[in-house]
Structure formats: structure tokens, C-alpha cells
Amino acid sequence: MQIFWYYSTRSPARAIPQPRLLRPLAPAPACFFRPNALSSHSAMEVIYEDNHIIVVNKAPGEIVQGDRTGDTPLVDIVKQWLKVKYNKPGQVFCGVVHRIDRPVGGLVVFAKTSKALSRLNDMLRRGLVHKTYWAIVAQRPPRDADTLVHYITSTERTNKSRATLDPRPGAQRAELRYRLIASSDRYHLLEVQLITGRKHQIRVQLSSIGCPIRGDLKYGAPRSNPDGSISLLARHIEFEHPVSHRPIALDAPIPPDPLWQALAQATTPATPH
């Protein structure tokens, strides 16, 4: 596969600021849990844990919170993992800080204490939790780096969002920044930073510029991925710890898919994530 890099001519004025690369504080080693009673989920990968928060690498296909499908949500798997690890009797507290879509993989933060949950929710509202995604698209975007602003409406019946350039009643303003960080002969890897957090925001905004995410049939991809995922990864998250106030910066592992691996390898000289 032929790989090209896109970094040397990037204008600092137009570039998306790189997240600070900070070493996690006393991180728990990545580990896997195979719950006996939760057979629909074969493993859970813990990226970071301390007394107040736990960060998990969600697999595509998992749901973060319960929904009408009745499938076991990741929050329940985390609760069971904590219960087993610490031999806790009774109920275990685990608060959902944020969600990512079912076909998306990557980092999800949970709170182990009510204090952490309250403070993290406030930080999210104030824009103090910085999330970076990687997306694989087949069409090269019109610009190698840009800021996209749309107005998004969602339909619950179809579980789909629609983006327009002009405001309209009931629409929410959505903003993101992206830049092209690698290309192969058929696909392009975009780094995306969310400024707002709307339903299906990255998926619908990239589709609106003619760049649907690989595998995302709902937003215009021509075919699905074999495993039912879409090629969108919650790659990096950065925030101040809600209790200790120390900086936390974490990266999700690159999926083992050969395309992900090849494109990620191409970015290595410029983005040491």
C-alpha cells in the first residue's frame, strides 16, 4: 500500500492545535475482563483507573448506556468489573460521563464517585474536556484542514441527524476542526477535534462535505465494514482530573485492522500519539 504524509507545508494559522502530550498519572495497566454473566461482551480493556475515574477502550458494537435493544451496556460491564476487582458487596457506583455511538470504538470515561461525575459533567458543559477523533474516509476533503460549522437536527424515529449551513428552528449549532494527517492510494485519515458535542456530529458533518466515514451506511458510505463498525475512533482525550486537578491525557490503541495500522504508521513521524 502506498502511503503519503501531509505535514510539511501545514500553515500554523490553519492547523488544529495538537493536544498536549502528557503522561497519565499512575495509570492502571491495560487489562481485560471476561465477565461470566455478560457473555455478549467478550472483553473490556481498561486504559486508566484511579480512585475517582476509569477510562475504557470501547469496542465497536458496544453501547455505553442501556437502550431499547436490551443489550448489556458498557456501564454495567464496568460496574461488574469493579465489583469483582475490589470484591465489593452490593451496588457499585459508576457514572456515565459521555457517550460515543455504538459502531464507534475508542475512549470512554466513567466516574467512580459522585463528586467526580458532577465535576466532569460541569467540565463538559464548559468545554474543558478535549476529545480528538480519527476518521477514515474514501474521499479526500476539499481542504486539507478546515473548520466546519453546521446546524444539526435529529429525528428520533430514524435515529439520524441532518446538517444544514443555515440556522433553522430546533437546530443545534455544531462545530469541529479537522485536518488530513495521512493518505493511502484509496483512503484518507482525518484528525477531528470536536468543539461542540451533537448527536452523530462527526458522521453527519463529514458526510455533508462529501466525505462519509468508511463503513457508515447511514451517512452515505457505499458499503459496510465486515464487522459492522464504522472507521471512526475516539483516539485521544485530555482534561484536568476532577479531584486532584492534575492533567490527564490518554490515547486509545490503534485498531488491529491493516488499514488502520498502515495509516497510523504514516502519521508516526509527526503525531506521536
Query: What domain count does the chain have?
Result: 1
pLDDT in tens, 76-114: 999 999 999 999 988 999 999 999 999 999 999 999 999
Residue 214 lies in a domain: yes
Residue 9 lies in a domain: no
The β-bridge relationship of strands 232-240 and 105-111 is parallel
Q: Is the per-residue pLDDT at 26 higher than 70?
A: no
Give the Cα separation of 103 and 228 in Å (integer): 7
Does the model's pTM come out above 0.75? Answer: yes
| Mean predicted confidence (pLDDT) in 12-27 | 35
Residue 13 lies in a domain: no
Residue identified by cell 502506498 is 2
The CATH number covering residue 177 comes to 3.30.2350.10
pLDDT in tens, 195-225: 998 999 999 999 999 999 999 999 999 999 9
Residue 168 lies in a domain: yes
Chain mean pLDDT for the chain: 85
Predicted local distance difference test score (pLDDT) of residue 4? 38
Q: Is the per-residue pLDDT at 27 higher than 50?
A: no
Residue 273 lies in a domain: no
Predicted local distance difference test score (pLDDT) of residue 151? 97
pLDDT in tens, 34-69: 343 333 344 689 999 999 999 999 999 999 987 777
| Mean predicted confidence (pLDDT) in 112-118 | 98
Residue 11 lies in a domain: no
Residue 87 lies in a domain: yes
Residue 8 lies in a domain: no
**Residue-number span of the structural domain to which 122 is assigned:** 19-267
